Amino acid sequence: MKHLIYSLNNIWTIVIFLAFVIVGLLLIFPLYNIFVASFLDNETGVFTLQNYTNILGRRYYRTAIYNSVIVGLSSMVGALIIGIPLAFFTTRFNIKGKSLISTLAILALVSPPFIGAYAWITMLGSNGWLRLGLESMGIFMPTIYGPLGIILVFSLKFYPFVFLLTAGAIRTINVSLEEAAESLGCRPFSKFMRVTLPIIFPAVSTGALLAFVLSLADFGTPSIIGRNFRVLSTLAYNLFTSELGGNPGLASTVSILLILVSLIFVYIQRRLIRKKDYGSDMLRRPEVKQLSRVSSIPVHALCYLIVFLSSLPSLVVIYNSFRKTSGPVFKSGFGLDSYRRIINDVPDAIFNSFVFSISAVLMIVALGTLIGYTVARKPSILTGFLDSLLMIPYIVPGVVLGLGFIVSFNSKPVVLVGTATIIILVIFVRRLPYSVRSSVSILKQISLGIEEAAISLGASPAKTFLKVTLPLMMPGVFAGAMMAFITAINELSSSIILYVGGTVTMPVRIYLSVLDGEFGTAAALSSILLAATGVAVFAIIHITESDEGVFL
C-alpha cells in the first residue's frame, strides 16, 4: 500500500524533474550562453566589456535602443487609445454583433504581425492601391515605411490585448462603486476616469504591458516596413547574420539589452499594480445600457471601424492571393495562379510548417498538462519556482532565443543547428507556457473536492487523474493546444535565425517573398496561415466554449 503511494508521488516528482531539465536545457542554458557571449571578445574569447561600451557608446547602436522604446511606448499608447473605448462601449452599451466584434479582434490578435506589415505595404506602400487611390482624390498619404507605419501596424495588432482584458474587468466591476460616484456628483466621463479606470487599472496595464513587450520583441514588422529604421530586434538579427561576417558578441549584447528593457517595463508595471487588486465578491454586475438613437450610430461606427481596420490586412491578403499574377506582378482578374505557384515551388515550406508545429504541440500538450497539474495541485517551492521560470518565454524575444539556440547547440556533443529538431524544440519551449497556463487556469475552476470525492469513493490517485481530473481539464488542455498551435505555425522570429534551405517554414518563406517582391506567393502562403489560424480559433470558441481569456 505504502509502495503504491510512493510510486505515485514519484510520477509527479519525475514530472517536476523533467520540467526542470527541459527548462534548464532549452531556456536557461541558451540564455546563459548569450549572456556569457555578450561579455566575450569575438576573436580572443577573453572577458571584455567592449561589446557593451560599443553599443552604449556609439550613436548608431544607441539609436536602436531609443527607437525600440519609442516604438514600444507609442504602440502601447495606440493600443490603449483603441482598446479602452472599444471595451467600454461593447460592455456597457447594447452594441449589435458584440461576439462578431470580439471574434474579429481575436482573429486580428492571433494572426501573425508580419502579414499585417505586408498587407499594409500593398495598401500604403510606394505603389499601394489605397495610397494611389487617395492621391488621385488629392489626399496625400505618407507611405507605410518607417516608424509611424510600424506603430500603426502594432497598435492595430496589439489593441485586442487591451480590449479583451479591459472588457473582462469592466464586466466584473462592482457597479455600486460607480453608482456611489454618481450619487456623489461625478459626471459620466469623470466617473470613468476617476473610479472605473483606477479600479480596472491592473487589467488595463497588463494589456498595455503585453502590447509593449510584444512590440519590442517583434522582428518581422520592423524588418519589412522599417527600411532604415533600426530597432533592437532587427539590429540583433543583422549583427548576427551580417554578410560581412556576423558579430555574435554584439548580437548577444543587443539581445541582453532587449531582455533588460522588457524586464524593466515588467517591473514597472508590477510596481504600479502592487496592492491594487480590488477584486470584489460582490455580484452586482453593471447593466448594459440602451444607446439613444443619436449616439447609437457614431458608437457603432467607431466600434466597427476599429475591428474593420484591424481585420483589413487579413482581408487584403486573402484578396491578393486570388489575384492573377504574372511573375511577381499582380494583373487584373482573379485566378489560382499564386496557389499553383506555392504548391509547385514551395511545398516543403507548407509541409514543414504543419509537421513542425504539430510535433511541437504534441510535446507541449503532453508535458504542459502534467506540469500544469503539479503547479496547480502540488504547490511547493519547487513548483512555484518552475512556474516563474515558465514566465521567461513571455519576455524573451524569439530572435534572442533563436540566437541562444545557435550559440548553444552548434558544437559537439549536441549539434542541432540546421536540423528540424532545433526548430521544433525552440517552438516547444517558447509555447510550453500556453499549455501550462491553460491547464493551471482550468484546474482552478475544478474544485479540489471533486478529486477528493473520487478518492473517497475508492479511486486511486492515478485513476482519479485519468477518469475525473483529465476529462474535466480537457477544454483547457485543448484550448492551450490550439493556442500553442496558432503561435507555433505563425512563428517567424526564431525560425528566421534557425532555418536552413530544407527547414524553411511558411512564415520564413513569406518574409523572404515579401523582401523579394513576390507578393502573390506571400499572399497565398499567408492565406493558408490565416486559414489554419482561423480554424484553430473557431475550434477554441466552439468546441471548448472557453472565454476570451484563453487568447491572451
User: By CB under 8 A, is residue 5 in contact with another protein?
Assistant: yes
Q: Would you state the cell numbers that stand for residue 67, as one nine-digit string? A: 527607437
Shortest distance (Å) from residue 142 CB to another protein: 56
User: By CB under 8 A, is residue 460 in contact with another protein?
Assistant: yes
- E strand or H helix at 139, and its extent? none
Shortest distance (Å) from residue 457 CB to another protein: 3
Closest CB to another protein among 156 and 468? 468
User: By CB under 8 A, is residue 452 in contact with another protein?
Assistant: yes
Shortest distance (Å) from residue 545 CB to another protein: 12
# of chain residues touching another protein (CB under 8 A):
22
Of 110, 128, 131, the C-alpha closest to 119 is 128
User: By CB under 8 A, is residue 85 in contact with another protein?
Assistant: no
Closest CB to another protein among 7 and 99? 7
Shortest distance (Å) from residue 174 CB to another protein: 22
User: By CB under 8 A, is residue 544 in contact with another protein?
Assistant: no
d(C-alpha 224, C-alpha 216), whole Å = 15
User: By CB under 8 A, is residue 283 in contact with another protein?
Assistant: no
90 within 8 A of 101, measured Cβ to Cβ: yes
**SS3 state of residue 537:** helix
406 within 8 A of 441, measured Cβ to Cβ: no
Contacting residue, 450, 531, 535, 543, with another protein by CB under 8 A: 450
Of 213, 228, 70, the C-alpha closest to 151 is 70
Shortest distance (Å) from residue 36 CB to another protein: 40
Closest CB to another protein among 49 and 450? 450
Rounded to 5 degrees, φ, ψ at 280 are -130, 140
d(C-alpha 430, C-alpha 402), whole Å = 10
Of the CA atoms within 13 Å of residue 539, those in its CB half-sphere come to 17
Q: Would you state the cell numbers that stand for residue 411, as one nine-digit string? A: 558544437
Shortest distance (Å) from residue 369 CB to another protein: 17
* Chain mean position to CA 121: 22
61 within 8 A of 54, measured Cβ to Cβ: yes
Contacting residue, 127, 292, 411, 456, with another protein by CB under 8 A: 456
DSSP 242: -
Shortest distance (Å) from residue 458 CB to another protein: 4
107 within 8 A of 314, measured Cβ to Cβ: yes
Shortest distance (Å) from residue 74 CB to another protein: 46
Q: Taking contact as CB under 8 A, which single stretch among the options 107-115, 124-132, 207-215, 462-470 is the one that binds another protein? A: 462-470
Place of cell 527607437: 67
Shortest distance (Å) from residue 449 CB to another protein: 4
CA distances from 426 to 388, 420, 530 (A): 19, 10, 22
Of 164, 166, 158, 154, the C-alpha closest to 204 is 166
User: By CB under 8 A, is residue 472 in contact with another protein?
Assistant: yes
Place of cell 517554414: 505
Q: Taking contact as CB under 8 A, which single stretch among the options 27-35, 69-77, 262-270, 452-460 is the one that binds another protein? A: 452-460
Q: Taking contact as CB under 8 A, which single stretch among the options 172-180, 269-277, 443-451, 536-544 is the one that binds another protein? A: 443-451
Q: At what angle do helices 201-217 and 248-273 cross, to 10 degrees?
A: 170
Q: Would you state the cell numbers that stand for residue 26, as one nine-digit string? A: 532549452
389 within 8 A of 23, measured Cβ to Cβ: yes
User: By CB under 8 A, is residue 13 in contact with another protein?
Assistant: no
Closest CB to another protein among 182 and 452? 452
Residues contacting residue 441 through CB under 8 Å, at least 6 positions apart = 476, 549
Q: Taking contact as CB under 8 A, which single stretch among the options 233-241, 364-372, 386-394, 448-456 is the one that binds another protein? A: 448-456
Contacting residue, 19, 87, 396, 454, with another protein by CB under 8 A: 454
User: By CB under 8 A, is residue 182 in contact with another protein?
Assistant: no
User: By CB under 8 A, is residue 464 in contact with another protein?
Assistant: yes
Torsion of CA 410, 413, 416, 417, to 10 degrees: 20
User: By CB under 8 A, is residue 135 in contact with another protein?
Assistant: no
Q: Would you state the cell numbers that stand for residue 107, as one nine-digit string? A: 482573429
Closest CB to another protein among 137 and 283? 283
Contacting residue, 55, 468, 486, 528, with another protein by CB under 8 A: 468
Of 290, 464, 458, 295, the C-alpha closest to 377 is 464
Contacting residue, 459, 512, 539, 552, with another protein by CB under 8 A: 459
Q: Would you state the cell numbers that stand for residue 460, as one nine-digit string? A: 486511486
Q: From the CB of residue 394, how many other CB atoms can be counted at a distance below 10 Å?
A: 17
Q: Taking contact as CB under 8 A, which single stretch among the options 43-51, 118-126, 402-410, 458-466 is the one that binds another protein? A: 458-466
Q: Taking contact as CB under 8 A, which single stretch among the options 36-44, 203-211, 444-452, 515-523 is the one that binds another protein? A: 444-452
Shortest distance (Å) from residue 546 CB to another protein: 16
Shortest distance (Å) from residue 543 CB to another protein: 15
Q: Would you state the cell numbers that stand for residue 496, as one nine-digit string? A: 528566421
Q: Taking contact as CB under 8 A, which single stretch among the options 59-67, 74-82, 149-157, 450-458 is the one that binds another protein? A: 450-458
Q: Under rule CB under 8 A, which residues in 18-37 are in contact with another protein?
A: none
Contacting residue, 1, 46, 137, 244, with another protein by CB under 8 A: 1
Q: Would you state the cell numbers that stand for residue 539, as one nine-digit string? A: 475550434
331 within 8 A of 324, measured Cβ to Cβ: yes
Please list the helix, strand and coil fractions of the chain in percent, rounded to the nearest 5, in that order: 75, 5, 20
Site string for another protein, 355-394 (x = CB under 8 A): ----------------------------------------
Q: Taking contact as CB under 8 A, which single stretch among the options 147-155, 203-211, 225-233, 456-464 is the one that binds another protein? A: 456-464
Instruction: Give the number of residues written for the chain.
Output: 552
| Chain positions contacting another protein, by CB under 8 A | 1-2, 4-5, 447, 449-450, 452-461, 463-464, 468, 471-472
